[in-house]
Chains A and B, each alone.
Chain A
């Protein structure tokens, strides 16, 4: 009696399904960062619309940037977002033009500027000083001698190599020195003026307004005194400064940004933390001198004579015959090369704005800082006048060298990102939406189950069980994918799952209707189940393929919440196929062996037979053009 399609072995398929379950939930509980209590491990990642938070979609304006540029832009934006002090911010690229910033919880952080184009400049380092602000905060009024390392900040101010000016760029790959051959530098004459020459940067309208506020905040006298400073205050020789400028430590990053560069540099209370959090574009005026930090060293920088857009390309070069370690080679384009040559000439010959003794490199030449946004990413000493391609050397590793090369290449990304969508969802609203979503899913499932029981009687339990199984599989996959792939469940995702209920329900409708046909034709339940399965399988696969195709296309080519919807729909449809193959069919095959299967009261299939004869009689009286009957 066994059909040639092969003897059904329901047990085997069920075992495979059980195996899948065990594997999935083992993954859920024991892999990829599962931690915490039993319930903690079962938490899917919920989207911000369900837990509350803020989401902002930044869209690149103009021509779509390349993938590398996007990644660099993402890093820059991430740095800017983190710079505003928010916690757990997540910055991801989405499609080829969008960058999505998600910040859970509540905050009103001003992220308006994070999409501004990144500015990169090459500025000569005129002076350096250690950042004492932390120490001052720690030791409030009295400056402890131990913290103030120096009357002379330049002479190895701190123990950490990365903070030493000559080695520079903590975190960015160690010290750097330009070019190969050291040239015996001429004219070490520390020329006359000690005070930084060019004046404070031009103040825009809004900045003037706040500058007055800042003056008020720090006190008119203190501000005047700060303005009068010509060099960084040495706390050892002038202990009163700690109290005199105390108010400066209360300034926010925005307020610090409006201070003239000279004051930012000279007042010890202005620390690197505040400086690096200045709003984006605070030091983007290339004709103004500026202050920026490299590690914990405050550097006073000259006007920008070369900008990032002058860079042709930068490349990380692995150790070879000529160099013993990783270096970064740098090419300039067009007149960028001339500007660069002039800047290096100035640095080597000590012309132009004077580099203070403290700011000089170990070869006695000026250093040039590469400033990205508000931070110095590298500040190599210029060893010789560079008329062609240049190299930056330091204690680079493969990673740090390519990191710097990337920054040099794409850091000056002239792309503006505009916040096209910004959504704040309160925690209460998030909870309400989560509840509503789950409720809708619950109602959907219930309605489908009721319908199934009504229509297919006890066979409804098979449907119900498969829905439950699909649900469990989906949930496990959700938790696991959330941890490994970062898939977050959003409201739209819940909607996707709800829609997939319809797809799942449909696949059993197809199957059962086929089965009904087979039974009506007088097949035994056992062979009917097998035959109905073979025929329905084809249809189910075709139909589900279409749904999955729609989901995949949507996922790949859409933006925003749609992605979550498409992913959920696709995932649920695939899992539904799995359940159809590994659960519904074997269970039906087992069920078909029981006597109750054909009972009208039990299965809802028997009804087809019950009235068959009666129908044959009545059919005669009805003129029908076609006889609708399984053929």
Chain B
């Protein structure tokens, strides 16, 4: 009865988690992940899809026999075309119309057609029942190159946008968190050995949009909370930022969940029903990326921002002032601990208690300049 669970506090945006204060821990976590990722990039590398190496995929309905039969049959046909051509992998795809997908070394479209015809003849089915996909290595390169171009342009645009909308430190922090998202998502791909296809690359780009979106919401709140922070000496920048993270925490978790839900559906269907292809590739990368994006918007972007901000002379002196004042304050006024908190309680209740139908007078001037409102000020400093 007396204890409220973390969930409830989260729900009310009052979790009061000290995220900024522990930022060394988060930086440590990020550092470890990045090191792990880099190690994995160099030792394990990535599993490239056929789009990057070039190759052919032939999909045959499962009704014709077993996978090994089909693989053998394809192998025979492939051998007729070129002595050095061969089957690389075979895979069974589930769903309402199960099928086998067999991959071979690169060949021309014409040759793929020959194989389709030969297989159709062999199994007594129509060539229309056999799908094929011929991709040259150059294609993957082109897609990747275009993706990288898009990435550069997007980052440039976003940087400008963030600088205009917020400030350059926020832009840097946001970009740092984006970089972390990419590295973390790429690390999962490298470590688990998921196949990287052009769809994956595209997914990465989409993650950027999403991650940024998340960061923007948090920073929006940080900006709001710290707009006139130097005007008073009650709250440091770090504290105001921490408050913002806490206030948007539920939203971040909510958003993360709510965005992961449809993507999870996508992944489930893509992997479960179709087995492979665009849906699975996109679903997987988005799922992983959105996960890391939620983490980094809370535990990385804002800590980086605060670190950067504390390097700013204006903020640094302000922080010192607040801390100095605070050090002097409690010694004179009241010893920290229960009595002081007890004392604030009625005030708090008065400010925040529901008064249906009435507008709390104290809140009104707070308007957009949160953090400066009189009603809350007792809360943060006195609890220290």
Are A550 and B12 in contact, with the CB atoms below 8 A?
Answer: no
**Knowing A420-B138, A440-B268 touch, does A499 contact B262 (C-beta < 8 A)?**
yes
Write out, one digit per residue, whether chain B residues 141-159 have a CB within 8 A of any chain A CB (1) or not (0). Answer: 0110011011001100110
Identify B270's interface contact among A424, A436, A499, CB under 8 A: A436
> Nearest chain A CB to B359's CB is how many angstroms away?
6
Residues of B within 8 A of A495 (CB): 266, 278-279, 282-283
The tally of residues in A whose CB lies under 8 Å from a CB in B reads 111
Write out, one digit per residue, whether chain B residues 95-126 have a CB within 8 A of any chain A CB (1) or not (0). Answer: 11101000000001110110011000000001
- Asked if A565 CB lies within 8 Å of chain B CBs, one says yes
Residues of A within 8 A of B268 (CB): 440, 443
- Asked if A520 CB lies within 8 Å of chain B CBs, one says yes
**Knowing A502-B259, A561-B278 touch, does A455 contact B254 (C-beta < 8 A)?**
yes
Residues of B within 8 A of A607 (CB): 11
Residues of A within 8 A of B14 (CB): 615, 619, 627-629
* A611–B131 alpha-carbon span in the complex (Å): 60
Q: Which 7 A-B pairs have the closest CB atoms?
A: A444-B262, A502-B259, A550-B209, A628-B246, A443-B265, A106-B128, A440-B269
Q: Which residues of B contact A (CB under 8 A)?
A: 1-4, 8-9, 11-18, 21, 51, 59, 61, 95-97, 99, 108-110, 112-113, 116-117, 126-136, 138-139, 142-143, 146-147, 149-150, 153-154, 157-158, 161, 165, 198-199, 202, 205-206, 208-210, 212-213, 216-217, 220, 225, 239, 242-243, 246-251, 254-255, 257-266, 268-270, 273-274, 277-279, 282-283, 286, 290, 338, 341-342, 345, 348-349, 352-360, 363, 366, 368, 370-371, 373, 376, 379-380, 383-384
Are A620 and B345 in contact, with the CB atoms below 8 A?
Answer: yes
Are A524 and B356 in contact, with the CB atoms below 8 A?
Answer: yes
**Knowing A424-B132, A562-B198, A626-B242 touch, does A542 contact B216 (C-beta < 8 A)?**
yes
Residues of B within 8 A of A546 (CB): 158, 161, 209, 212-213, 216
Residues of A within 8 A of B202 (CB): 492, 554, 558, 561-562, 565
- Asked if A428 CB lies within 8 Å of chain B CBs, one says yes
Are A562 and B143 in contact, with the CB atoms below 8 A?
Answer: yes
Are B149 and A557 in contact, with the CB atoms below 8 A?
Answer: yes
Residues of A within 8 A of B117 (CB): 108
Identify A426's interface contact among B130, B139, B277, CB under 8 A: B130
Residues of B within 8 A of A498 (CB): 262-263, 265-266
Residues of A within 8 A of B371 (CB): 631
* A523–B359 alpha-carbon span in the complex (Å): 6
Query: What are 16 A-B contacts defined by CB distance under 8 Å?
Result: A421-B135, A423-B131, A432-B95, A448-B262, A502-B259, A519-B354, A521-B352, A543-B216, A549-B158, A557-B150, A612-B352, A615-B4, A616-B352, A624-B16, A625-B242, A628-B243
> Among A126-134, A389-397, A504-512, which stretch is in contact with chain B?
A504-512
> Nearest chain A CB to B176's CB is how many angstroms away?
16
Identify A626's interface contact among B61, B345, B349, B380, CB under 8 A: B380
Are B146 and A557 in contact, with the CB atoms below 8 A?
Answer: yes
Nearest residue (CB) in B for A519 is B354
Known: A112-B109, A426-B130. 12 other contacts (CB 8 A): A59-B139, A106-B128, A424-B132, A429-B97, A440-B265, A441-B265, A494-B279, A499-B286, A502-B258, A517-B247, A522-B360, A549-B161
Count, A-B residue pairs, CB within 8 A = 370
Residues of A within 8 A of B348 (CB): 616
Residues of A within 8 A of B136 (CB): 418-421
Nearest residue (CB) in A for B341 is A620
Are B283 and A538 in contact, with the CB atoms below 8 A?
Answer: no
Identify B199's interface contact among A97, A492, A551, CB under 8 A: A492
Nearest residue (CB) in B for A57 is B139
Residues of B within 8 A of A617 (CB): 2
Report whether over half of chain B's contact residues are helix, strand or loop; otherwise say mixed: helix
* A617–B341 alpha-carbon span in the complex (Å): 11
Write out, one digit per residue, whether chain A residues 523-567 have a CB within 8 A of any chain B CB (1) or not (0). Answer: 110010000000100110011011101110110111111100100
* A347–B135 alpha-carbon span in the complex (Å): 49
Are A423 and B134 in contact, with the CB atoms below 8 A?
Answer: yes
Are A631 and B261 in contact, with the CB atoms below 8 A?
Answer: no
Identify A631's interface contact among B265, B345, B360, B366, CB under 8 A: B366
> Nearest chain B CB to A560's CB is how many angstroms away?
6
Are B283 and A625 in contact, with the CB atoms below 8 A?
Answer: no
* A622–B117 alpha-carbon span in the complex (Å): 74
* A462–B12 alpha-carbon span in the complex (Å): 21
Are B265 and A447 in contact, with the CB atoms below 8 A?
Answer: yes
* A523–B4 alpha-carbon span in the complex (Å): 23
Are A612 and B353 in contact, with the CB atoms below 8 A?
Answer: yes
Residues of A within 8 A of B126 (CB): 106
Chain A residues 235 to 283 lying within 8 A of chain B, measured CB to CB, are none
Are B154 and A598 in contact, with the CB atoms below 8 A?
Answer: no
Identify B96's interface contact among A432, A622, A628, CB under 8 A: A432
Are B263 and A553 in contact, with the CB atoms below 8 A?
Answer: no
Residues of A within 8 A of B135 (CB): 420-422
* A89–B116 alpha-carbon span in the complex (Å): 21
* A77–B279 alpha-carbon span in the complex (Å): 31
* A562–B144 alpha-carbon span in the complex (Å): 11
Nearest residue (CB) in A for B157 is A549
Residues of B within 8 A of A565 (CB): 202, 206, 282
**Knowing A444-B266, A517-B247, A523-B359 touch, does A557 contact B274 (C-beta < 8 A)?**
no
> Nearest chain B CB to A221's CB is how many angstroms away?
33
Identify B213's interface contact among A427, A547, A625, CB under 8 A: A547
Nearest residue (CB) in B for A55 is B133
**Knowing A111-B109, A612-B352 touch, does A59 contact B263 (C-beta < 8 A)?**
no
- Asked if A39 CB lies within 8 Å of chain B CBs, one says no
Identify A628's interface contact among B13, B51, B59, B134, CB under 8 A: B13
Are B265 and A444 in contact, with the CB atoms below 8 A?
Answer: yes
- Asked if A184 CB lies within 8 Å of chain B CBs, one says no
- Asked if A51 CB lies within 8 Å of chain B CBs, one says no
Residues of A within 8 A of B352 (CB): 520-522, 612, 616, 629
Are A426 and B384 in contact, with the CB atoms below 8 A?
Answer: no
Are B259 and A506 in contact, with the CB atoms below 8 A?
Answer: yes
Are B127 and A106 in contact, with the CB atoms below 8 A?
Answer: yes
* A418–B108 alpha-carbon span in the complex (Å): 10
> Nearest chain B CB to A521's CB is how many angstroms away?
6
Identify A615's interface contact among B12, B110, B213, CB under 8 A: B12
Identify B208's interface contact among A422, A513, A550, A623, CB under 8 A: A550
* A445–B153 alpha-carbon span in the complex (Å): 32
- Asked if A110 CB lies within 8 Å of chain B CBs, one says yes
Identify A435's interface contact among B96, B133, B246, CB under 8 A: B96
Are A491 and B279 in contact, with the CB atoms below 8 A?
Answer: yes
Nearest residue (CB) in B for A450 is B261
Are A560 and B283 in contact, with the CB atoms below 8 A?
Answer: no
Residues of B within 8 A of A510 (CB): 217, 251, 255
> Nearest chain A CB to B231's CB is how many angstroms away?
14
Are A608 and B278 in contact, with the CB atoms below 8 A?
Answer: no
Are A492 and B282 in contact, with the CB atoms below 8 A?
Answer: yes
* A425–B130 alpha-carbon span in the complex (Å): 8
Residues of A within 8 A of B17 (CB): 628
* A542–B223 alpha-carbon span in the complex (Å): 13
Are A502 and B210 in contact, with the CB atoms below 8 A?
Answer: yes
**Knowing A422-B133, A524-B357, A624-B383 touch, does A112 contact B277 (C-beta < 8 A)?**
no
Write out, one digit per residue, whether chain A residues 185-198 have a CB within 8 A of any chain B CB (1) or not (0). Answer: 00000000000000
* A614–B352 alpha-carbon span in the complex (Å): 13
* A506–B158 alpha-carbon span in the complex (Å): 20
* A517–B224 alpha-carbon span in the complex (Å): 14
Are B278 and A501 in contact, with the CB atoms below 8 A?
Answer: no
Nearest residue (CB) in B for A113 is B110
* A64–B290 alpha-carbon span in the complex (Å): 37
Nearest residue (CB) in B for A540 is B217
Are A509 and B254 in contact, with the CB atoms below 8 A?
Answer: yes
Residues of A within 8 A of B354 (CB): 519, 522, 609, 612
* A516–B250 alpha-carbon span in the complex (Å): 11
Are A629 and B13 in contact, with the CB atoms below 8 A?
Answer: yes
> Nearest chain B CB to A108's CB is how many angstroms away?
5
- Asked if A287 CB lies within 8 Å of chain B CBs, one says no
